Each structure stands twice: as structure tokens, then as C-alpha cells.
Amino acid sequence: MNSIQFITALHSVYPQITRIVDDKAYDADGNEVAYDKAAVQAYVDAHAYISKRAQEYPSIGDQLDALWKGGAEAEAMLAKVQAVKNKYPKGAA
């Protein structure tokens, strides 16, 4: 897990955390907040599909162009997007 994933997960699981210094987390009043690293890792694992999908989806511009053209192009784009969703289903690590 990289630091951005960790921070995003930590704030999602523990929204009261406003600051992180090394391995310690603090709330808005400066009080240290204990957190469960396993819970944070579980959040990262459950949401890993999001970044994987984002890397493989066709660009938004290409998707909009296909929708605008409609017909076979829109159907082909839908198939591309669905293939990525099938490759990285929700909740799969």
C-alpha cells in the first residue's frame, strides 16, 4: 500500500483524523487517535479495483465521443468498459 492509499483509507475509516505524523494520527484538537492498521488495510484491499479500473478505462473523451456517435461505436465502447469492470470486479483485491 502506498502512502496516498494509506492516507485515503485512514481518513475514510477514521474521519476524525486530521493529521498524521509518522505512524501516529491526531484529531483536530491534537489528541492522538488510535487506529487499527488491519482495518485500514482491509479498506485499501476492498477498494483496489477503483484505481485498477481507472488505469484501463478508455479516456472520458473517447467514451463521450462514442456516445455522441451512438450505434455501433457506443456499443463497442460499452463492451470495452464492461470488459474492464469484469476484469476488476468491485471488492476484489
pLDDT in tens, 6-38: 888 999 999 999 999 988 999 999 999 999 999
Task: Let me know how long the chain is.
Answer: 93
Mean pLDDT of 46-57: 91
Please check whether residue 14 is in contact with residue 25, taking contact to mean a CB–CB distance below 8 angstroms: yes
Domain ranges of the chain: 1-46, 50-93
Residue 61 has pLDDT above 80, yes or no: yes
Residue 1 has pLDDT above 70, yes or no: no
Q: Which three cell numbers stand for residue 46?
A: 476492498
Helices (H) and strands (E) in the chain, counts: 5, 3
* SS3 at position 66: helix
CA distance 7 to 12: 8
pLDDT for res 5: 83
